[in-house]
Structure 1
């Protein structure tokens, strides 16, 4: 069978579910309510406070602060925990660059640690090799929506900031992501499980940390003080009422969406001629923000060749992250040590994005058919 990239007929010509999903009547109603009220900012309206409390309550966190994006959420969590100049924060190599740049924004140095081969989550053994007297926090990333093993990192005796940008609704041994460390940060950027285009949220169970978060995101005001009292240095990093209006109704459909993606990943794990990476042991629910596939160079062909061939078949895959150890821009702020596992993953792992995982089984079957077609064609033309 001729590959579509070579002039053959594509496996799939239909599109894929959009993300974010189409706006609901409830979202439209809440947006118009905010618009007509004239109370568009968090200091004058009620929606940001309502959403923040509802989200925090949904994961069992007593305190939350909503902010403009996920990177800022990480920055605020670090600063609220006392991270600053000359400090170090350990971050995984296989993650979005914001995990490192948020540390730089806080005035500290990101220390990039390798990940585990099976799951691509932060490797506690790598952390043990890199931790030192200047280490003031560890930032595990709940990659692809699967919880990192925060318990294994607590023994190092430094604060844990969970990067939960991809893990809305995930649980670890039955405990919600966001309640495993000292603070946790969620993102509501366009691709995320809950989205307002942009936005972020920090949760904590420590009242003192919460008070610092609140002051930092609200121009240094005290939560008990007046409008023009600024006992701390802070910034205006507040979420808008419009963002909160878009987000509030999504809490009610998150569980259903997670279940749809769970079924999709289970199907792909059974049927695909590629390995779907497993979640860390102890995962009781993943958000399945991504399905991570390990491409094994069929017929010696590169990952780029595979992605191009799958795209021609109507299956758009994502190349995924580069290892942070290869991000030369970070070299001005930290020493880029080799991270062989993350670097190998960057060369071999491809992603199926969340929107495709919202498809029905017939669409998922097209992914399987296309992958088998490309594998057969590549393997029959060994270079």
Structure 2
């Protein structure tokens, strides 16, 4: 069978589900309510507080603060936990660059640790080799929506900041992501499981941490102080009422959407796709992504880039994913970049199926499998 990129017929011509999903009437009504009210900022409206409280309850945390994006959320969590100049924060090699740049933003030094070969989550053994007197926090990433092994990181006795940008609704040993560390940070950027285009939220069970978070995101004000009292140095990093209006209805849809993606990943695994497992202890993954291991030997030695190009031509838009932070030269002035063999190998071999595809039904998902087999057979003949 001729590949589409060689002039053959694509496996799929139909569109995939859109992400974010089409706007609901409730979202339209809430947006118009905010627009007509003239109370567009968090300090004058009610929607940001409503959303923050509802999301924080859904996580099972005591306190929450909504901010402009996920990177800022990580930065503020670090600052609220006392991370600053000349401190070190350990982050995983296989993650988005913001995990490291948020540390730089806080004035600290990101220390890149390798990941586990099976799950690509932060490796507690690698962390143990890097922990030192300047280590002030560890930032596990709940990669692809699967909770990291936070318990194994607790042994080192330093604060844990959960990067939960991809893990809305996930649980570990029945406990929601967001309640596993000292603070947890969620993102509402366009690709995320809940989205307002941009936005972020930090949750914590520590009242002192919450008070610092609130002050830092609200130009240094205190909860009890006046408008022009600024006992702390802070910034205007507040979410807008428009963002909150878009997000409020999405909480009710989250569980069903997560269940859909769980079924999709289960189907693809049964069809033979080599999707990475979740860490032991995962009781629910949000499956923001399905991470597929690509083995060139099974595809006639062709590169990952060749595979993605061929699949895209067949109507299956895959993503090449991260490259290891240990290869990000932009971080070199801020971090002693040591080799991370597992993370670097993952950058060369892992292919992503994004959540928009995972929202499809089984008939559509079967096209992913059909195209994979078609490309594998064609590559193996060459």
**How far apart are residue 61 of structure 1 and its match?**
0.4
Segments of 4+ in structure 1 off by > 3 A? none
Which residue matches 1:281? 280
**How far apart are residue 176 of structure 1 and its match?**
0.2
Secondary structure at the residue paired with 2:137?
strand
Which residue matches 1:294? 293
Which residue matches 1:154? 154
CA RMSD of aligned residues (A): 0.5
Secondary structure at the residue paired with 2:179?
coil
Which residue matches 2:37? 37
**Residue by residue, what CA displacement relative to the aligned partner does 1:173-217 show, whole Å, maximum 9, x if unpaired?**
000000000000000000000000000000000000000000000
> Map of 1:1-383 to 2, 5 A cutoff?
1-272=1-272, 274-297=273-296, 298-381=299-382
**Residue by residue, what CA displacement relative to the aligned partner does 1:312-344 show, whole Å, maximum 9, x if unpaired?**
100000000010000000001111100000000
- TM-score w.r.t. length of structure 1: 0.99
Secondary structure at the residue paired with 1:9?
coil
Aligned mates of 1:90, 1:164 — CA distance in 2:
16
**Residue by residue, what CA displacement relative to the aligned partner does 1:34-83 show, whole Å, maximum 9, x if unpaired?**
00000000000000000000000001101000000000000000000000
Aligned mates of 1:254, 1:14 — CA distance in 2:
25
Figure out how many residues of one structure are paired with residues of the other and give that number. 380
Aligned mates of 1:32, 1:101 — CA distance in 2:
36
Aligned mates of 2:77, 2:59 — CA distance in 1:
18
Aligned mates of 1:380, 1:149 — CA distance in 2:
42
Secondary structure at the residue paired with 2:121?
coil
Structure 2: 5+ residue stretches without partners: none
Aligned mates of 2:6, 2:328 — CA distance in 1:
34
**How far apart are residue 363 of structure 1 and its match?**
0.7
Aligned mates of 1:123, 1:6 — CA distance in 2:
42
Secondary structure at the residue paired with 1:72?
helix
**Residue by residue, what CA displacement relative to the aligned partner does 1:241-278 show, whole Å, maximum 9, x if unpaired?**
00000000000000000000000000011113x41000
Aligned mates of 1:76, 1:99 — CA distance in 2:
12
Aligned mates of 1:128, 1:245 — CA distance in 2:
43
Aligned mates of 1:320, 1:270 — CA distance in 2:
23
Secondary structure at the residue paired with 1:110?
strand
Aligned mates of 2:64, 2:288 — CA distance in 1:
22
Aligned mates of 2:92, 2:157 — CA distance in 1:
18
Structure 1: 5+ residue stretches without partners: none
Aligned mates of 1:59, 1:203 — CA distance in 2:
8
**How far apart are residue 121 of structure 1 and its match?**
0.2
